[in-house]
Structure 1
Amino acid sequence: MKNILFVCTGNTCRSPMAEAILKHKGKDIFNVKSAGVFANNGSPAHPHAVQVLKDRDISVDHRSQALDKSLIDWADLILTMTENHKQLLCGQYPESIDKTYTLKEFILLGKDEEEQWKQIKKKTADLLEKQSKLMNKKGDVKPNKDQAEREKKLRESIEKDMEIVRELEAKFPNLDINDPFGGSVEDYEQACREIEDLIEKLVKNF
């Protein structure tokens, strides 16, 4: 059976719901765990999360846990709730890049779209690195006229490339699942419904 790890922020809302749903719908196919990139160990699932799962006749006995290397090594597939979770995770554990996706990315994008999305994100990371280097140069000695002109052209080039990246990203669906934390039961219901629909596709595809 495949080991699947769901990841969100605090491991009390989205990823516990995903874990409980997949355990319920795919118990003979997957081993399932969840964790949070900024989780405190030992917190229960949010009461609203427990309620919307109970409405589906899904029980949950959950205690939050922080993401760590042992969980990364355990997982065959890591599914995050947002692109930011994915970037944080892969930045800390680069060895996990090839097995880490957002849940929506893994389910909704075809192979060609997935490759395009990866290229867009790589381009974004490269541009942000250039931008950071440019900003760090501001602390250096005052540049001469030629250096100032080169920096100006570099800034203009970065801004132009970032605009291209934003246009490309706009062609893709939103690959994040909104965080219901602090919201109403209805907000949790909406998040749970979205997660459930994706997990049903996940089980069907396997």
Structure 2
Amino acid sequence: MKRILFVCTGNTCRSPMAEALFKAKATDGQWEVRSAGVAAFDGQPASLHAMQVLAERGIDHDHQARRLNDDLVAWADLILTMTQGHKTMIQSMFPGAAEKVFTLREYVGVEGMSDIADPFGGTVEDYRRCAEEIEESLDYLINKFTG
């Protein structure tokens, strides 16, 4: 079983949406998926807008934020971040894991902007756009794995 860890800043918006969307798409049972944040407060719920956007897609995701730590980094076979800044921070904090850390868009080969913008504090429409960006990258990811 392959283990994927999605990482953003607070683990309340982008990475929980990526985790939930990937779980909904990758139903073949070959994947374990988690999410974390480089500056998360453990136990914090996902943002209301993130949960609303997932619910609009028929996805129920019970989520509590987790701060990225040694155990999560060791657990993961692949760490996919939402921004270049997250990637750089993780590689600095966990240099032994550098070879398994990529931005999501970089890993799937999306050209151009490699960051998925943070919708935190924005409107539900901002969250919908963010989820669409994540979902597009996840479709590429699944195609890459099932190729």
TM-score, length of structure 2 as denominator length = 0.95
CA shift at 1:174, angstroms?
1.0
Structure-2 separation of matches of 1:52 and 1:32: 19
Unaligned runs of 5+ in 1: 110-171
Runs of 4 or more off by more than 2 Å in structure 1?
none
One-letter code of the match for 1:45?
A
1:57 aligns with 2:43: no
One-letter code of the match for 1:192?
A
Structure-1 separation of matches of 2:144 and 2:36: 24
Q: Which residue of 1 aligns with 2:141?
A: 202
User: Secondary structure at the residue paired with 2:79?
Assistant: strand
Structure whose residues are more often helix by fraction = 1
1:183 aligns with 2:122: yes
Report Cα offsets for 1:109-151 as digits up to 9, x if no partner. 6xxxxxxxxxxxxxxxxxxxxxxxxxxxxxxxxxxxxxxxxxx
CA shift at 1:29, angstroms?
2.4
CA shift at 1:181, angstroms?
0.1
Structure-1 separation of matches of 2:49 and 2:85: 24
CA shift at 1:201, angstroms?
1.4
Structure-2 separation of matches of 1:65 and 1:199: 21
Structure-2 separation of matches of 1:108 and 1:205: 10
Structure whose residues are more often strand by fraction = 2
Report Cα offsets for 1:37-80 as digits up to 9, x if no partner. 00000011101000111111111100000000000000000000
Structure-2 separation of matches of 1:29 and 1:191: 26
One-letter code of the match for 1:90?
Q
CA shift at 1:204, angstroms?
1.7
Structure-2 separation of matches of 1:190 and 1:56: 13
Structure-1 separation of matches of 2:122 and 2:112: 23
Q: Which residue of 2 aligns with 1:91?
A: 92
Structure-2 separation of matches of 1:181 and 1:190: 12
Report Cα offsets for 1:4-30 as digits up to 9, x if no partner. 000000000000000001111113221
1:26 aligns with 2:26: yes
What is the RMSD computed on CA atoms of the aligned residues? 0.9
One-letter code of the match for 2:10?
G
TM-score, length of structure 1 as denominator length = 0.68
Structure-1 separation of matches of 2:79 and 2:121: 25
Report Cα offsets for 1:147-200 as digits up to 9, x if no partner. xxxxxxxxxxxxxxxxxxxxxxxxx61100000000000000000001011111
User: Secondary structure at the residue paired with 1:198?
Assistant: helix
Of all paired residues, the percent bearing the same amino acid is 51
